[in-house]
Homo-oligomer: A and B are copies of this chain.
Amino acid sequence: MAKTVYSLEFKVRDYECDLQGIVNNANYQHYYEHTRHEFLMTHGISFSRMHEEGIDFVVARVELAYKYPLRSGESFVSELSLYQEGVKYVFLQKIYRLPDRKLCNVGRFDTVCLDHGRLSRNPDLDAFVLRVNGAE
């Protein structure tokens, strides 16, 4: 399995909590998306600039396991690992509450690269995945 290559800290915002008093399920996808985009940006890959150049990195499949709910006032860290599986770039992502690192959510995002709408491997991304994982 791929190693953690990026982590980002967040604080729950009250508007993300629903009437059960916990973070609404859909917001975990927001947290994970922001983590992926910040990770890519850190490496000079801008999601919005790629879009302007006709290249979209799209999510094809998502699995989310809700282990423990986040609540108002809590902080958490979102961790990311990344590997390639054929035409797919797979992000494994986890959310741990801080400071006790209780595992709250596990996500798997299968993404693909669309070059002007056509599914395609992107050599730059391929090289990036190897590099970020410390491979030669």
Interface residues of A (CB under 8 A from B): 11, 13-15, 17-21, 24-27, 29-30, 33-34, 37-38, 41, 46-48, 51, 56, 58-66, 69, 71-73
Interchain CB contact under 8 A, B48 and A72: yes
Contacts of A20 in B (CB 8 A): 51, 56, 58
A38 / chain B contacts, CB cutoff of 8 Å? 11
B47, B51, B56, B65: the one contacting A61 at CB < 8 Å is B65
Contact B14 A17 (CB under 8 A): no
Q: Is the CB of B21 within 8 A of A15?
A: no
Complex: A107 Cα to B72 Cα, angstroms? 24
Contacts of A47 in B (CB 8 A): 14, 72
- Residue from B19, B56, B60 in contact with A17 in the complex, judged by beta carbons closer than 8 Å: B19
Cα A129 to Cα B130 with chains together (Å): 48
Tell me, rounded to whole Å, the shortest Cβ–Cβ distance linking A58 to chain B: 7
| CB of A37 to closest CB in B, whole Å | 5
Given A60-B65, A66-B59: A26 in contact with B19 (beta carbons within 8 A): no
The answer to whether B60 touches A66, judged by C-beta atoms less than 8 angstroms apart, is yes
